[in-house]
Amino acid sequence: MLKIKDDVNLKELEKFGFTYFDDKRSCRYGCLDLQKDYLEIFINNARVITIASDTRAFNLDVIYDLIKADLVEKVEEK
């Protein structure tokens, strides 16, 4: 699974279109699909990246940009 590195300040995600959610228990940041008005990418409290289940029109550019910026690491599932 993909995860935001522990040494990354999560405010960095805002540069990639993510929004901080202070009222959610399990989701810290989400990336909104403006055309469909729902969250496509979630970053939970453990910094794990989750993609919404309805990914038919999902744009992987955001994930690619996070990887290229060296913000993401691959970890084994527990």
- pLDDT digit string, tens, across residues 41-77: 888 888 998 887 665 556 678 889 999 999 999 998 8
> Using only C-alpha atoms, what is the Rg of the chain?
12
What pLDDT shows up at residue 40?
A: 75
**Residue 20 — very low, low, confident or very high, per pLDDT cuts 50/70/90?**
confident
Q: What is the domain extent for residue 20?
A: 2-74
CATH value at residue 17: 3.30.310
What is the rounded end-to-end Cα distance, in angstroms, of the chain?
Answer: 10
Helix (H) or strand (E) holding 9: none
Tally of structural domains, the chain:
1
Apex CA 47: angle with CA 2 and CA 15, to 5°? 90
Residues 3, 66 contacting (CB under 8 angstroms): no
Quote the pLDDT of residue 52: 75
